Amino acid sequence: YFPFSEINITTRGSDWYWAVTAVMAASTIAFLAMSMMVTRERRIFHYITAAITLTASIAYFTMASNLGYTPIAVEFQRNSSKVAGFTREIFYVRYIDWFVTTPLLLLDLLLTAGMPWPTILYTIFLDEIMIITGLVGALVASSYKWGYFVFATVALMGIAYNVVVVGLSHSRALGSTVNRTFMVCGVWTISLWFIYPIAWGLSEGGNVIAPDSEAVFYGILDILAKPVFGAMLLLGHRNIDPAILGL
Ligand code: RET
């Protein structure tokens, strides 16, 4: 006897997760194919980008199979009163994916700006704080979860500062081709990353939208932040001499 009713994805959510799995896997193959069309010195960005979409395909395979989650007690509003006795499916595998892939996305981006290693590592440290506090907050049932939301959002602001302000000053010094690619990919990334806390607030945070809607929200964000970002970055690198980045 289990006293809770579970709020989970349905077959529609699962089908959508399978579709995203296919997009991530196809992008991985495309990025590896593109790597064979460029000189060895240019391949590192293809390998980093392919590693990102490969990791995402495994995470999406897991969620499509309705695995990699744990039930967390939630309340919600019905007829102006709080209803208890429900659990929501929280996909912790999402955070394992992000823990691996968001540092690689930052590496792609900040190597393109020619940023020094200590600053790249410090930005990745802030990113690890953001993902881990987001995970802990998602797994906490009480309203303490919003404390973790604040920690993660403050870390995201530090990341945004290092990308937009510090990154831009480095990329500017490397000429207009580097600067244009970094600018487009950097603005794209930071704009998208600030939408993730909204998805979290409506899903893991406030239990406002159903797990199927969560699947669509995060799925679209992840496609824009991984394969679409990757394609934009790699197209930009076709005109960049790796030597001026110190690579
Ligand atoms: C969390 C928790 C709530 C507060 C903030 C968050 C930020 C998450 C971000 C995730 C980015 C993921 C990407 C995945 C790649 O596909 C953890 C949701 C600020 C920015 C880019």
Distance CA 12, CA 121 (A): 40
Q: Is 81 helix (H, G, I), strand (E, B) or coil?
A: strand
Does the predicted TM-score (pTM) go above 0.90? yes
Q: What is the ipTM of this complex?
A: 0.97
Tokens 């296919």 label which residue? 22
Distance CA 175, CA 114 (A): 11
111: closest CA among 47, 156, 40, 154? 47
Q: Which of 185, 193, 233 to mutate to test the pocket of ligand 1 (most atoms within 8 A of CB)?
A: 193
Residue ranges in the chain assigned as alpha helix (H): 11-35, 43-64, 93-112, 117-139, 145-161, 168-172, 176-193, 196-200, 211-223, 229-237
What are the pLDDT tens digits along the chain (247 aa)? 566 789 999 999 999 999 999 999 999 999 999 999 999 989 999 999 999 999 999 999 999 999 999 999 998 777 888 888 899 999 999 999 999 999 999 999 999 999 999 999 999 999 999 999 999 999 999 999 999 999 999 999 999 999 999 999 999 999 999 999 999 999 999 999 999 999 999 999 999 999 999 999 999 999 999 999 999 999 999 999 999 998 8
Distance CA 247, CA 242 (A): 5
Ligand 1 atom with the smallest distance to the CA of 221 is 16
Residues whose beta carbon lies within 6 Å of some atom of ligand 1: 98, 101-102, 105, 130-131, 134, 149, 152-153, 156, 193, 196-197, 200, 222, 225-226
